[in-house]
Amino acid sequence: MSKPRVAIFDFACCEGCQLQIVNLEEEILNVLDVIQPVEWREAMSEQSEEYDIAIVEGSITRAEDEERIKTIRKQAKILIALGACATIGGLNKLKNLFPLDDVKEAVYGKHAHMPHLNTAATKAVDEVVRVDYYVHGCPIDKREFTYILRCLVLGKKPVIPSYPVCVECKKNGNICRFEYNEICLGPITRAGCGAKCPSNGAWCFGCRGLVDDPNVNAAQDVMDTYGKTVDDLKAKIMLFNIQQEQADG
């Protein structure tokens, strides 16, 4: 059986999620046993217009990027959004809170008017094209990435948690970050990372996006218990989940 041809593309991002793939170290050899990379700017010079699986990192921030991702989508049998920028727009979506002209001037100063520095409202990949699978997080979890890739090679559907990070925190025996007088997004953020931030002394930043059906009542109970308000929670949500927060009001 021939190996699926895999191409990795990047848009607006720091490319940290691709570095996580490189950081697989010896494990990457096992990945290469089951796939054939045909394009990956981060690691190889070859390019190809023939691929079965497209892995896309980064958010869509320009009109020409929308056309490019549409072309990639047409070529790919499967498209995977890699990391928070691709799955939910990531930190790049903070730009959408301000007038675009102001953003350009703040970043580029006197060069803001130059055509090649044009920009548009930031979008997640699935706001432009259909996405088949998501590897959440900022950066991604390496084990989750290899798990999803292996499932696809074997013709299986990967199972991604639909419960909140709080479940993983309890499993790890962590003291709730609210006990430290912090605002933690664990009650409403999708699990799958192993609660890495709370397990290492930080609150959950929500980089994996909100769970599909967040238990708003339970989250409200937590906030009430620790004397926090909805506005306190929203202020934290805005970091990674601007669109979701605005949609929910």
Q: What is the pLDDT of residue 244?
A: 55
Q: Examine the domain organization and report whether 125 and 221 are in the same domain.
A: no
pLDDT of residue 128: 98
Contact 135, 13 (CB under 8 A): no
Q: Are residues 179 and 121 in the same domain?
A: no
Task: Please report how many Cα atoms fall inside a 13 Å half-sphere around the Cα of residue 194, on the Cβ side.
Answer: 8
pLDDT at 243: 62
Q: Are residues 14 and 121 in the same domain?
A: yes
Instruction: Annotate 67-121 with DSSP letters as a single string.
Output: HHHHHHHHH-SEEEEESHHHHH-GGGGGGGGS-HHHHHHHHHGGGTT-GGG----
169 domain-assigned: yes
Structural domains in the chain (count): 2
Question: Is residue 158 included in any domain, yes or no?
Answer: no
Q: Is 54 exposed, middle or buried (0-12, 13-18, 19+ CB in 10 A)?
A: buried
> Do residues 15 and 114 share a domain?
yes
CATH of the domain at 63: 3.40.50.700
Regarding whether 232 and 188 lie in a shared domain, the answer is yes
Q: Torsions phi, psi of 97, nearest 5?
A: -80, -10
Q: What is the pLDDT of residue 42?
A: 83
What is the predicted pLDDT for the residue at 7?
96
pLDDT at 231: 85
79 phi, psi to nearest 5 deg: -120, 125
Domain boundary among 119, 153, 187: 153
Question: Distance between CA atoms of 208 and 198, rounded to whole angstroms?
Answer: 14
Same domain? 142 vs 170: no
Closest by CA position to 182, among listed 172, 192, 167, 169: 169
Whether 177 and 242 share a structural domain: yes
Domain-terminating residue out of 130, 153, 176: 153
| Degrees, nearest 5: CA angle 177-181-183 | 65
Q: Which residue, among 158, 171, 141, 163, has the nearest Cα to 20 in the 3D structure?
A: 141
Q: Is 101 within a domain?
A: yes
Quick check: bond before 139 cis, omega within 30? yes
Q: How is residue 5 written in tokens?
A: 């041809």
Question: In angstroms, rounded to a whole number, what is the distance separating the alpha carbons of residues 148 and 110?
Answer: 45
User: With the CA atoms of 105, 107, 109 and 112 taken in that order, what torsion angle do they form, in degrees rounded to the nearest 10?
Assistant: -60
The pTM (predicted TM-score) of the whole model is: 0.90
Q: What is the pLDDT along the chain (249 residues), one digit of tens a residue?
A: 689 999 999 999 999 999 999 888 878 888 888 899 999 988 888 888 899 999 999 999 999 999 999 999 999 999 999 999 999 999 999 999 999 999 999 999 999 888 888 899 999 999 999 999 999 999 999 999 999 999 998 899 999 888 999 999 999 999 999 999 999 999 999 999 999 999 999 999 999 999 988 878 888 888 899 999 888 888 888 889 876 544 444
Residue 199 lies in domain: 165-248
Parallel/antiparallel/unpaired status of strands 36-40 and 5-10: parallel
E runs forming strands in the chain: 5-10, 36-40, 53-57, 78-82, 133-135
Residue entry with tokens 């709370």: 198
